[in-house]
Amino acid sequence: MKQGNSKSSTRGGARTGAGRKVGSSPYGENTKIMRIPESIVDTVGNILAACKAQRLEARYKNDISYPALDSQPIRLPLFSHKVPAGFPSPADDYIEARLSLDQHLITNKDATFFVRAKGNSMVDAGIFDGDLLVVDKSLTPSSGNIVIAIIDGDLTIKRLILRDNKTILKPENPRFKEIELQDGQELQVWGVVTSTVKKFI
């Protein structure tokens, strides 16, 4: 009678150190696999997306502010004369309209937030360290937009490039490398950058 092989198999099973690090998911903790009815997949997905957004907002709450629009916005004169530098002279120009910066910069108050740029990866797009960015979460991001993105739980500002079935986060500074999404990486676009506000003094 043949005796069974007493050696344990070295094939299959979990590998030490394989897989994602514990707590590295977008939720910041371990996850479990669940089976849910197909009819509620979208509902559960929406709930998870809302939970993730709340966690991210809590994590970056010190970097984000929201518009507080006045019911009576301040309207400043908008002169029709265009000049490369200086201020138009009232002697030969007239006021075309009165402009509210609130209304000029913000289309959807409930979906808009402000965030400060950090670093110099977007200088060639005119975004410098410390600039105040106006971000609209209601816009559908398209290729070429500058976006606030979360990749593997980290916040970044980059230009979104969708090309040849690839998703790329492109810096606007030759000193920085493009980020091309790989299998298993998760990208969440948090909003589209619509404007940048600079102060010189």
Residue positions annotated with a catalytic role: 121, 158
Contact 108, 138 (CB under 8 A): yes
* Other CB atoms within 10 A of residue 186 CB: 12
Pairing of the two strands 76-79 and 179-180: unpaired
Angstrom distance (rounded) from CA 66 to CA 179: 29
Angstrom distance (rounded) from CA 69 to CA 59: 25
Q: And the tokens for 38?
A: 């197909």
**Which residues face 76 on adjacent strands?**
99
CA distances from 4 to 1, 8, 38, 117 (A): 9, 11, 45, 66
